[in-house]
Structure 1
């Protein structure tokens, strides 16, 4: 590649790159620009009002009921205004055809709102007129998605739509042929009802995601992004490989602010990448560190990517549970990345920045104390709040609001004692890294909205939308008043005039938030067509059978196929759309195949698996948009940056496979003590895995040491695998003795029953493993009734009748045909056996690790003393 192609882009060019990807490359000036900004501002105001507790009192009911249509109308209109349709389209003005497409698309998105009475009168079905308007709406949606998301999303949706119309053709293979749908039926499903475009995904974008994106935009506008980066560099910049370590921590913090990996790369990378290159990282490695850490911002609680909110609806659990399950893998993933850059620095004997001597141990201890203290503060907030509510139940809201305002004013006063933080020049001759003790107080008040968000989510257990509303509402006050209050505390003349500057910041932040939502709104709407096709045609089951055939019923092969599918689709789809498509098609398949293999895979584990590989697509060549953004900052080769970033992200690739087989990592059914043990062991495991893949622990690894460390990591992550080889986890019970075993089992214990019978669709015999928690009822018959079993003994065979209606067992066995010639029967029963604690496997694994450490330390000693090893 020529030098000209490797030139790092200027700040202005980088901002254009982010805008083209996230908020639109077109910015008209004059009255038109003001009008577009006003539309974006109105969208933000509408969404804030929609999420507020007073929404039922100030918004008409039909606006609330049709909020998805309004959400999409704004997204389509702003897409036409902000994103050029062709490469040759003007950037400084809006051509007539974009006005027509924007206004037409917004009208068609609102079709169900305008003609609500007529559609209800038709029983929710489209007549001929509705069908043609719906088809036109789909076409304009595709045009909007093309201009914002690129061609892949549109091509995928069109292929699925073609299957809806032409899936009954003779040209379609018998295995995937279906009955077909008329234009009226298809358009009713896709546009008029809430099964297609206006389905769950767009609903989540409307209810939850917008508020969190707006929260991030406002927090960034307030100056939190620069504060987090400065704090990270102050804490870690002086260590060996410090800029890279600071990039990792800074990107984890800015993940709170930006759900976009590209914006994260450019925001932190413009400062971190030049400094990484300065201490010895190549352009590609510097870019790769930034990519790996920025992309993982989407998996970092409490504010994760948009897909996390979709999990709430798809899995049927609260957002608190989603972030609880996602917490441990995200944290150890970042710990591993810090360790990766540390090993890179040690291997290449990189210099440190600045002249301060700092202790690695004290730095890590200090950071741990900060995060632990912050978590403790979020948790402890509930106690004074509950006291105030108990003392003044009626006026507690006003008292708490006044108290929060007083704390905010106090923290702003503290911040005003120091100069405002200005972005540093990473290319300056001498880099003066900030001192944490001097700068920490300048942005402590930025933590207040995060504390409010975590409090409402985790303590009050409010909905994500309402929690984000209160945090955003606090940010409104911060943006409006922070500059005025600082000016007052500094004794500046005309400090009140700074209130106007705060108002401008607030409006700009709300406009930025709306423009950042355009792509997510269109992605969730377009992906709804694929979800609608699956629900209308049943193609999901056909694809499940096909993938099961390819994998030969092997769960690991199936997971590899799902991972590859996510990576391939992610080359052209944004993370959210990729997650919707793959989860709609593959999640149920993995869960079912796991059950057939005897492995009970929780639904949330498979959804997180898909989510992890969806975000990896931002890294993976040949597309990897985040890698291209990092290369633009570093001046390195984009493809090499992508491959290096993928290598650095191996722990993100490995973790999903681990937590499918060891759900302890997702903190499923573990106590506090077990959770702490899992965290410690998983951290050691990921560090050992990292040392193995990097080929360096205390010194360069020998081949047998690398293999041994991979084995140690596997043992630490999945100790049950080895313990099961020593002692079987279950004992077999004859099917005929199932009823007796159920009656004798302790309430709350687990039995595993393998059910065999004909598949409802294919009539082929299959096995499904069903886990049963023994109910607290007296006698075997009472327990059978509680579970929903209807047993029909025939000698040694235990046949089953169709389970009782309304029981969980009915859902688990819904894929069997109970009226076929072949019976549905109990093939085997397994009861939990007495087994030694699987944690005993940690002992030999850690002893082997200690041996490797001892041998490597002996080899490393002569090198440290300058002698030949």
Structure 2
């Protein structure tokens, strides 16, 4: 979980406003993973020992050799179930200061049910396909406890989907013809979900127990070195002085923070506690400030080199090295942040907002001289990935590099206490992803057992009339709809099974198809009525949640269009790369995003009339569609808007800000 980091910027943030915001309460309200018990005494020590042991286990296996995939996943899940039942109460009304006896019992049972696969691995392998009653009993117990653990740390939606999947496996013979199958008995279902490699212990949990955990731990270690504070200081030095500087600081800092943090809500609460009051202090409306932070923080999940947990699963599904996914994501991520940056600039210009005085900002060169080495671990991660190391080994090496470099500065030094805190935070931050991956593994298992995925893909294509654009629209709606109740990782796994195959039937390159689903799973954090990242920003800003949510949706509009661009023009993902065509695609996409920003904000040099906003939107769409004719038409529209708005600005110069 990200920490609350607040650099000292003299006079930038009204102290009373900062003090009035309860960070812990805000996290508990919008992030279900923050609703854990606050323990003391021996119970707190017990949880710390388990969490640190979990991180040490993953460090050891990453550095010196993984166990067999099912054993690695079983140990990972044992730690996860133990921590979830010890940390998360059965309901919000239950005690949050001590662990009741029944949660100790559930934790112990969950640990044993998971480790049963490790303890009796040889015997289970010898009787593969012929499970004993004890094997099935352990499988039934594990599935039940996993569903309850996921409900506690997330919400009921994912467990309900998993239960429906299990019921579908059993009652399939009674379904309508399109979705009917022969049906499976309970022993066969439990055997598939528990003892196979396509259920609970399938690809999602395998990725969680290797790459994802190590990158979450990498982020926790970096944060303990003061990386979060340094990122905000760096953003302040780079952009705080410019027009509407605080909003640009929010975009830059949240984007940089997103390189090490895959959680939208945690990112909002971390950087937003500083940037949102700062934006308000220079004149941005509260709802706009909250929306900017939400959009910028959500984009962190698509920002290489780390991205969100779903990106590692995406690479595994495609069967490609993770570095290929990270490289493919570079241009779309930069377009996303460019769009947000342009919009906040236009809004600041429209309102006449200025930047902060330079004497209130950190000096760039002294900052880089004293703490610039904190960027080296990120550079090292990129180097290791490009050099052919696995993501697991790259993350392990990145943690080692971070630890060594931390001793270059007394303030960043990873003392034993800080290292213990980092390892505990890393384990705590990973258990939500682990539960989601294990639980959604049952949905994957259902799809492989019954063949439902291909049926749904065929149904989507039929419903869309065999046309690509309607199929994309339906896929987008499905991803956003599922995202209102599922964590990003689980959302991506479900939609990649159900919707991505429909896109593949149209000849869409696999990278583009899966990335399309990945983007819109993330976009759900900004889509009302359940826009959690936007609501967290509204909570900090003291703004209306729905107004903040719709403003965030508007600011992220470019993010909603970019996936369509790379489906129709995969070269933006560096597929079938040709330098000249790639350059044209990037430049025209940037100009299109620039026009789109004009249309959404309604300002360019002067206030824009409604018909010019529509014209700018049309020009943006034309520039985003690949093709020389559409590009030239879009450029002609840009030229016309520029001339008309320049003339208007000369006649009606904007009034100075009050």
- With normalisation by structure 2, the TM-score equals 0.93
2:591 to 670, 673, 684: 684
2:443 to 530, 536, 540: 530
2:43 — aligned with what?
Answer: 32
**Equivalent position SS for 1:668:** coil
1:806 — aligned with what?
Answer: none
Shift of 1:140: 0.4
Output the CA distance in 1 between the equivalents of 2:34 and 2:27.
Answer: 11
Give matches, 1:7-156, under 5 Å. Answer: 9-14=21-26, 21-22=32-33, 24-52=35-63, 54-55=64-65, 66-156=71-161
RMSD across aligned positions (CA): 2.1
Shift of 1:15: 5.5
Give matches, 1:779-790, under 5 Å. Answer: none
Corresponding position: 1:546 with 2:459? yes
Corresponding position: 1:605 with 2:540? no
Equivalent residues of 1:40, 1:514 under 8 A apart: yes
Shift of 1:104: 0.7
Corresponding position: 1:450 with 2:357? no
Cα offsets for 1:350-393 (capped at 9, x unmatched): 24332x4xxxxxxxxxxxxxxxxxxxxxxxxxxxxxxxxxxxxx
Corresponding position: 1:846 with 2:635? yes
Q: Would you tell me which structure has more helix in proportion to its own residues?
A: 2
Output the CA distance in 1 between the equivalents of 2:185 and 2:654.
Answer: 80
Output the CA distance in 1 between the equivalents of 2:378 and 2:354.
Answer: 36
2:546 to 630, 639, 664: 639
2:404 — aligned with what?
Answer: 477
Cα offsets for 1:162-214 (capped at 9, x unmatched): 00111123xx3232221011112111111111110100011111120011101
Equivalent residues of 1:68, 1:202 under 8 A apart: yes
Q: Which runs of 4+ in 1 moved over 6 A?
A: none
Output the CA distance in 1 between the equivalents of 2:560 and 2:32.
Answer: 25
Shift of 1:294: 0.2
Cα offsets for 1:111-149 (capped at 9, x unmatched): 221221222121244233322221111000000000001
| Larger relative contact order (Cα-Cα within 8 Å, sequence gap ≥ 6) | 2
Tell which deviates more after alignment, 688-697 or 571-580.
688-697
* Cα distance change, pair 688–662 in 1 and its aligned pair in 2 (3 A): same
Cα offsets for 1:16-71 (capped at 9, x unmatched): 557x633552131111111110110011011111111x327xxxx56x76101111
* Cα distance change, pair 17–215 in 1 and its aligned pair in 2 (3 A): farther
Corresponding position: 1:670 with 2:577? yes
Corresponding position: 1:179 with 2:86? no
* Cα distance change, pair 581–684 in 1 and its aligned pair in 2 (3 A): same
2:10 — aligned with what?
Answer: none
Equivalent residues of 1:23, 1:515 under 8 A apart: no
Output the CA distance in 2 between the equivalents of 1:32 and 1:153.
Answer: 29
Compare CA radii of gyration and give the structure with the larger one: 1
Give matches, 1:511-526, under 5 Å. Answer: 511-526=424-439
1:212 — aligned with what?
Answer: 215
Cα offsets for 1:469-518 (capped at 9, x unmatched): 10011122234x3455x7xxxxxxxxxxx97x711111100110010001
Equivalent residues of 1:300, 1:327 under 8 A apart: yes
Output the CA distance in 2 between the equivalents of 1:214 and 1:321.
Answer: 22
Output the CA distance in 2 between the equivalents of 1:29 and 1:476.
Answer: 29
1:729 — aligned with what?
Answer: none
Cα offsets for 1:520-561 (capped at 9, x unmatched): 000000010001100000111222233233222222122111
Equivalent residues of 1:659, 1:666 under 8 A apart: yes
**Equivalent position SS for 2:183:** coil
Give ranges in structure 2 of 5+ residues lacking alignment: 1-18
Shift of 1:676: 3.6
Output the CA distance in 2 between the equivalents of 1:273 and 1:350.
Answer: 15
2:369 — aligned with what?
Answer: 441
Shift of 1:614: 0.7
Q: Provide the aligned length of Structure 1 versus Structure 2.
A: 638
Tell which deviates more after alignment, 622-631 or 86-95.
622-631
2:16 — aligned with what?
Answer: none
2:521 — aligned with what?
Answer: 614
**Equivalent position SS for 1:97:** helix
Output the CA distance in 2 between the equivalents of 1:28 and 1:655.
Answer: 45
- With normalisation by structure 1, the TM-score equals 0.71
* Cα distance change, pair 65–143 in 1 and its aligned pair in 2 (3 A): closer
1:432 to 348, 353, 360: 360
Give ranges in structure 1 of 5+ residues lacking alignment: 1-6, 357-430, 487-497, 595-599, 721-837
2:13 — aligned with what?
Answer: none
Equivalent residues of 2:483, 2:521 under 8 A apart: yes
Shift of 1:218: 0.7
Shift of 1:705: 2.7
